[in-house]
Amino acid sequence: MARMTMSDAIVEAIRQEMRNDESIYMLGQDIGQFGGPMQATKGLWEEFGDSGRMIDAPISEEAMIGTAVGAAMTGSRPIVDLMFAEFLALTVTPLAHEGGSIGFKTRGEVTVPMFVRAKCGIGPHHGHAEMMAGMLMSFPGVKVIMPTNPQDAYSLVRAAIRDEGPVVMLEHMSLLHARRAEVDLETTAEIGRAAVQREGNDVTIVASGLMVSRAERAAKTLAEEGIEAEIIDLRSIAPLDATTVVASARKTGAVVVADEAWPTAGPAAEVAHQVLRLTGGRDHIRFGFATSPHTPIPFSTELERAFVPSIEDIVATVRETLAP
């Protein structure tokens, strides 16, 4: 056990995996001596720099991802630090359209074991907040994970590095250097499993990233009104753990999705789709959405604040959803 931030936990998981597996190398902008954007690779240069396993990349995102796909197909396990999720849009053909499908198209003869890190979300950087989640979700074969606490970050990173297909991790910038917590270094996770973060019988709040902690605080307010919310932290956006969501939805009869990503064809839409698909609409489950508007993310701090669902938005959405 060790106390660490989410950022520390990610670095620690990468360090462990790199020690265990020589085929892993890391490519990213400023990940060398600089220590990685927002200290994303702190200490890794000191340990692996000499062996050439930490490569400072030029501003060539499509080639960073494209070469990683090629390296992964031929026996390496690349980790790409893409810095920000908005750059995923620059890399879609090699990463998603082709990289996600290679395992399928070769019937598993050729796999693409690569792990991509990308920061997103509103936070200290005041920019680069886009998540691109919906875009990634539409490509079969691409996994997308989003940890919200140090333990999950550690466990999911280990699983992602060992995965045989491309896995993208969205790292929320407001969480990376937030609270420290104990991390069990022996634990690994299964990608595709959500976690029930809080139990309750009245409403299911489905969230990921920063929205999980906002949902937790919303749940406290709601509890004072006698509404007990169950909170599901998706952890894995693709594949999405519909089983856990539906079981909770059947129990509570109401699902509120709290999501910072664009609402169209994204995680919120997919949660609703999965619940409807698995219940056929027969369970009379109510839906509410505390999501961002379908607009580009504005720049002004105040407009940005209005863009991202707040604790009050989540509380209000729950109330509206449960109203008779």
Ligand X SMILES: Cc1ncc(C[n+]2csc(CCOP(=O)(O)OP(=O)(O)O)c2C)c(N)n1
Give the footprint of another protein on this chain (CB under 8 A). 29-30, 32-35, 37, 56-63, 84, 86-87, 89-90, 125-128, 130, 263, 289, 291-296, 298-303, 306-307
Nearer to ligand X, 57 or 219 (CB): 57
Whether 136 and 169 have beta carbons less than 8 Å apart is answered as no
d(C-alpha 1, C-alpha 125), whole Å:
30
Q: Which residue in 86, 128, 216, 260 is the catalytic one? A: 128
258-269: b (≥16 Cβ within 10 Å) or e: bbbbbbeebbbb
Nearer to another protein, 50 or 302 (CB): 302
Nearer to another protein, 53 or 128 (CB): 128
When CB distances are held under 5 to 8 angstroms depending on the partner's kind, the choice from another protein, ligand X, none that residue 51 binds is: none
Find residue 115's DSSP bridge partners. Answer: 79, 167
Whether 187 and 154 have beta carbons less than 8 Å apart is answered as yes
d(C-alpha 196, C-alpha 193), whole Å:
10
Position of tokens 């396990």? 77
Q: Is 61 a catalytic residue?
A: yes
d(C-alpha 47, C-alpha 8), whole Å:
15
Binding to ligand X by CB under 6 A, coded x per residue (else -) over 63-102, reads --------------------x---x---------------
Q: Does 59 sit near ligand X (CB under 6 A)?
A: yes
Residue 275 tokens read as 């619940």
Instruction: Tell the smallest beta-carbon distance from residue 34 to ligand X (Å).
Output: 10
When CB distances are held under 5 to 8 angstroms depending on the partner's kind, the choice from another protein, ligand X, none that residue 17 binds is: none
d(C-alpha 166, C-alpha 173), whole Å:
22
Q: Is 128 a catalytic residue?
A: yes
Residue 50 tokens read as 């000499």
Nearer to another protein, 62 or 98 (CB): 62
Catalytic residue positions, numbered: 61, 128
Which residues bind to ligand X, rule: CB under 6 A? 29, 59, 61, 83, 87
